[in-house]
Structure 1
Amino acid sequence: MYILLALVGACALGIGVHYLIGDRELRGVVLAPAIATAASAITYTGLQWAGIGQDSIWLWLASIIGATAVAALATVAITRMRKRSDAEERAALGI
């Protein structure tokens, strides 16, 4: 059940990431929170399987803060790819 705390925390911070990174009109509103939540679930589960207990601060830092950092990096990368793709499309159309 503690995994839900990590997932909710990462999702909430992912919402903040969406609003902190510019060019919001180029991506969906759920992109950053979804990436943060998925990364948090994978990290939390992996660390639990590795034997790190729920009382370890590293489990919580990695699954919440680390997942938020992954979401921020992925969101920036996706936004840059979208900008580049749009510019190439405009150039191809002669706009």
Structure 2
Amino acid sequence: MAEEVLAVELPWLVWLPPEHRSEAVTELLDDLLAGVDTGYYLPFMRNLIAWKHTAEIHTDPSLVAQLTGPFQRADFSEVQRPGNTGVANGT
């Protein structure tokens, strides 16, 4: 029922695969209820934006294929940890 109500307010939910819609609705409602209780809505807003972008990705089958793999080990490279200057013990 919550999915139907949210689908009216968030029409982009239809772009999510059916198996992910209930997950999105559950996460959004949990964050919204926590926000109502605490007055802190940032987690809800972040999750809302993330799910909306995920739904937008699902409108492009080639992008979905690219992001879901399969991935080849040769496609990856090792990177340095951010802030790592290569100096041990910060000296």
Q: Taking structure 1 as the reference length, what is the TM-score of the superposition?
A: 0.37
Q: Taking structure 2 as the reference length, what is the TM-score of the superposition?
A: 0.38
Higher relative contact order (CA 8 A, sep 6+): 1
- Looking at CA atoms only, which structure, 1 or 2, has the larger radius of gyration? 2
Structure (1/2) with the larger helix percentage: 1
